[in-house]
Each structure stands twice: as structure tokens, then as C-alpha cells.
Amino acid sequence: MNALLQAIAIGVPQGALYGLMGFGIALIFRSAGTLNFSHGYSAMVSVLITLSTIQWFLGMGWLEGHAALFAAIPVGLISGAVFGVLIDILLMRRVKHVSPASMLMITLGLLLVFEGAANLIWSPDYESFPRILPGAPFVFQGAGVLGEVRVIFRRNDLAVMLIALVISLSMAGLMKYTKIGLAIRARGQDPIGAQAVGINTNRVDSIVWAIAITLAVVVGILVAPITRVHPTMLMNTQLLGITAAVLGGFSSLFGAIWGGLIIGVLERVVDIFPALDGYETAIIFFLIILVLVFKPEGIFAPRQGRKA
């Protein structure tokens, strides 16, 4: 029982990050029309930019300790938004009308470009990255109806969960109550109809790319203290983010977040059983196969209406 609680305490924050990653991937998939295989890699470059900015601030002696981190984060986030807009304007806009497959190929190419650039400009070495909330972990200890309980909760995970929650809620608000959210939904559901009501679909696509990559940078910054910073630091997170999006059903954006939470917890629960050690990923992908076979629209997809 204690092991299960511990698995949840570590799995939920981890899963929230998969969920945010999946949310951005599903957003691009639904509105801009491609599966972005370079999602985590562009964010990785932004994390490297963030790290270099921190080191620069520290090196110049302008800022110390945590102030440098918080000053560098906006730089990283903006670089993510810029990557998103550039990918859309320079590459996607030109092939959008050709075929979805060519967009997919470009994202695969970008994955290699970003990874190569990271190796060339920075280095393949693992570098450490500061936590948002440093300090000793919380220990919850006591005896209750469940028996003797001792759960450890990493302090930084508190920041992870709060940030993930705030972002999820503000994204939900953005999509539901703002004009840009309406434009994003309209463009995803019917691009021709969207243009007919006066929506500049090219601009919507750029905004979608900017939002999605910026979210991935947030994930990268939060996950960096654990994975450390290196060119493939977000490979696993991206893979499980795509998985979260599939699990949640690409047609429901917030399904991706629930999907991420499920994967995060499952990963840790599997860890409890020594016999299953090393099979975490296999079990998760087996789950995906089951979902694709029995409920291909995703476990959180809204019920389909009657066809007219």
C-alpha cells in the first residue's frame, strides 16, 4: 500500500509533464495538421539556450543563484515561441497544401537538425540544471487506516504540479473563452469554413506552433533537473507525450493530460513489482495497442454524434 502511494506521489507530477507535452502535440496535430516528431527536440534547444543564459548571467556576475534561473526562463520560453513561428512560416506554410506526409517528413528532419545543432553548438555532455524549488523532499509519515505510511514527495514536484495545473486551466480558458481559442478550434474543424468567416488560418497556425513549442519548453525546464541537459533529454518525454495524446484521443486536447497522468502513474506502479523491472515502457505500449484496437478514438474522446 505504501509503495502504491509512493508510486502515485512520483508518478503524478511526472505524468503531468507527459500530459503537457501531449497537449502541445495534440494541439499541433488537430489545428496545424501534422504529428510533430521534433516537438521535444526544439524544446531541448530552448532548454540549452536557457542554461547558457543562466551561465552567462552568473558568469557576468549580474545575477546570483536562483535569480539567474528565473531571469533566464523567459528567454527560454520566448526562444521556444520563436522556433514555433519559424518552423511554421519557413517550412510548414510551404508544404501545407501539398500533403500531410510532407509535413511529417519535415518534422522528422527537424528532429535530426535540432539534435545535430545541439551537439555542434553545445555538446553531447550531460549538464545539470537548477530546480525551481530546491530543498529537502517532503516526508509524509504516520499511521492510519492504511497502516504505517511513509511517502516521500520531491519539493520540486510541487512546482511541477502547480505549473502544470495553472497551464492546463489557462489553456482550457484560452480555448473556450477567447477569440483566438475559437479561431484555433474553427481552423481545426473546418479550414475552408474558417477562412469564410474571416479567420487568417496561416496566422492561427503560427500561433498554434508558438503555443505548443513554448509548452514543450516549460516541460523541458521542469524535467531538466531530473534528466539533466543533453541533446536527447526530451526523447523519452516526447515519446510518452505522443503516447499520452494517443491514449487521450487526438480529438480531445485535455484527454492528452489525463492520458499523461495515467502513463506517469502506471510507469511507477510497474516499478513496484521487481519481476517487471525494465518492462515499464513495454507495458505502456501494450496498453496503447489495446486502446488503438478497442477504442481508437481515445479513452477520453467525446461520444460521436449521429452522422447526418
Residues near other proteins (CB under 8 A) are 177-180, 182-183, 185-186, 189-190, 192-201, 203, 207, 302, 305-308
Question: In the complex with other proteins, which residue's Cβ is closer, 177 or 294?
Answer: 177
Q: What are phi and psi of 144, to 5 degrees?
A: -145, -160
Burial track 2-36 (b if 16+ CB lie within 10 A, e otherwise): eeeebbbbbbbbbbbbbbbbbbbbbbbbbbbbbbb
Task: Report in angstroms how near the CB of residue 207 gets to other proteins at its nearest.
Answer: 8
Question: In the complex with other proteins, which residue's Cβ is closer, 207 or 245?
Answer: 207
Question: In the complex with other proteins, which residue's Cβ is closer, 131 or 187?
Answer: 187
Question: In the complex with other proteins, which residue's Cβ is closer, 134 or 193?
Answer: 193
Task: Report in angstroms how near the CB of residue 84 gets to other proteins at its nearest.
Answer: 15
Task: Report in angstroms how near the CB of residue 301 gets to other proteins at its nearest.
Answer: 11
Q: Are 7 and 272 in contact (CB under 8 A)?
A: yes
Task: Report in angstroms how near the CB of residue 201 gets to other proteins at its nearest.
Answer: 7
Task: Report in angstroms how near the CB of residue 143 gets to other proteins at its nearest.
Answer: 48
| Cell output for 36 | 510533430
Question: Residue 261: how many CB atoms within 10 A of its CB?
Answer: 24
Helix/strand/coil (H, E, C) string of 33-56?
A: CCCCCCHHHHHHHHHHHHHHHHHH
Question: In the complex with other proteins, which residue's Cβ is closer, 186 or 265?
Answer: 186
